[in-house]
Amino acid sequence: MADRRKPEVAVIGGGVIGTSIAYQLAKKGVEVTLLEKGRLGGGASNAAAGMLGAQVESDFPGPMVELCLESRRMFPALSRELKERTGLDIEWNGSGLLRLAGDSEEANQLEERGRWQRERGERAEWWNRETLRRREPDLDSSLVGGLYIPDDSQVSAPRLVQAFSQGATLLGAELLEGVEVQGGVVDRGRVLELTTSIGRFSPGSVVLAAGAWAGFLAGELGLDLPVVPVKGESLAVRPTRPLFDRTLFGNGCYLVPKADGRVIIGATEIRQDFTPGVSGEAIQTLLAEAFRLVPELREAEWLRSWSGVRPGTVDGLPYLGAAPGFTNLWIAGGHFRNGILLSAVTGKGMADLITENPVTTFTPFSPERVMVSMKGG
């Protein structure tokens, strides 16, 4: 029997990124131990609305859009795979996303976004005021139009983490909750040991996937990894009747209809804030924008509010790949608002990298780019 204190790979962090990596490594037959200081999915992952918005938030083409599109394409098959393996339905919803325009300036910007996305082969439909009223009659009549993205979709974020976790466990991975990584022993660019709240681990390789806390843990291992914490506040209501089927994006919020009748409304962005809870100002701001888009939401039942801390980076791109100067430390973080969306491609890609299979799509996201910049190179 394998020594669980000496796994082939230790994954630090039990959010959607860490559990996805553990699942994909376990599929390859790798001995994996995942260490999570709280509970699985207890951070930003469970706070997420679950959008797979590869196009709806993309202002211009580039490597990030390509990565998001690649990951989005993986979800229909991944949803079926996880259900067959675990029995859990991640509630993949392919009804599309609709980005709304409140005035002619926003309309022009969205029409231009739709043009370049169609030019690269993606579907994007401009709905004018009349089409919008016909397709979504419960939206406010002052809206001038919207960009409909048929292929953007959504899932249940908590169910996705649960499915990755159960899938990894069924394949032989060990996922430990309540285990805090406190430091490590590094010698000549190799992590020899991890010091934790329950003792020492001696993994062959280490994957740092600790979300907004990755920068602190990287520092304990001697790596300067800039991670920008961004707090996001959200809330949920239940309308008296179904008002819309697809996710709506306004200028100051998004509205995500869920299978159980809830609508998730989010989200604020507060940089460098780890504080728990939700402010009254955040609730007021989000509800005001939601009511502006869908007036009948004023009659909806209040359910709850929550917050999570998302991991940002200095250039807005995630860190995916080997840690500079290390032979067995890997970084998977900085996904900011795209953690759920990018979990599919991150899990598979990191598992491939760790098992010595090249992943060229990760090249623009190498952590080395930041290290070179910080050194003035």
Mean pLDDT of 299-308: 98
Cα–Cα distance between 105 and 221 in angstroms, integer? Answer: 48
- The reported pTM is 0.96
Q: What is the pLDDT of residues 199-226, one digit of tens each?
A: 999 999 999 999 999 999 999 999 999 9
Q: For the chain, give the percent of residues with pLDDT over 90.
A: 92
Average pLDDT over residues 108-123: 97
pLDDT at residue 2 is higher than 70: no
**For residue range 15-50, what is the model confidence (pLDDT) as tens digits?**
999 999 999 999 999 999 999 999 999 999 989 999
Question: 360: helix, coil or strand?
Answer: helix
Say yes or no to pLDDT of 229 above 60.
yes
For 78-105, how does the pLDDT look when each residue is reduced to its tens digit (9 = 90+)? Answer: 999 999 999 999 999 999 999 999 999 9
Average pLDDT over the chain, rounded to an integer: 95
Map out the domains of the chain with their CATH numbers.
9-51+158-226+315-374 (3.50.50.60), 95-151+229-312 (3.30.9.10)
CA angle 303, 308, 312 (to 5 degrees): 145
- With a cut of 80, say whether residue 319 has pLDDT above it: yes
Cα separation, 292 vs 286, in Å, equals: 10
| Each residue's pLDDT tens digit, 230-277 | 999 999 999 999 999 999 999 889 999 999 999 999 999 999 988 989
Instruction: Report how many helices (DSSP H) and strands (DSSP E) the chain contains, helices first.
Output: 10, 20
Q: Give the pLDDT mean for 296-322.
A: 97
Give the model's pLDDT for residue 179.
98
Q: What is the pLDDT of residues 139-179, one digit of tens each?
A: 999 999 999 999 999 999 999 999 999 999 999 999 999 99
**Residue that is written with structure tokens 């994957």 in the block:** 207
Are the C-beta atoms of residues 146 and 129 closer than 8 Å to each other? no
What pLDDT score was predicted for residue 3?
Answer: 62
Segment 356-373 shows an average pLDDT of: 86
> pLDDT-based confidence at 358, cuts 50/70/90?
confident
Residue pLDDT, tens place only, 174-197? 999 999 999 999 999 999 999 999
Does the pLDDT value for residue 1 go beyond 70?
no
Residue 373, pLDDT score: 40
Query: Helix axis angle, 157-170 relative to 16-27, nearest 10°?
Result: 30
In angstroms, the CA 298 to CA 155 distance is 25
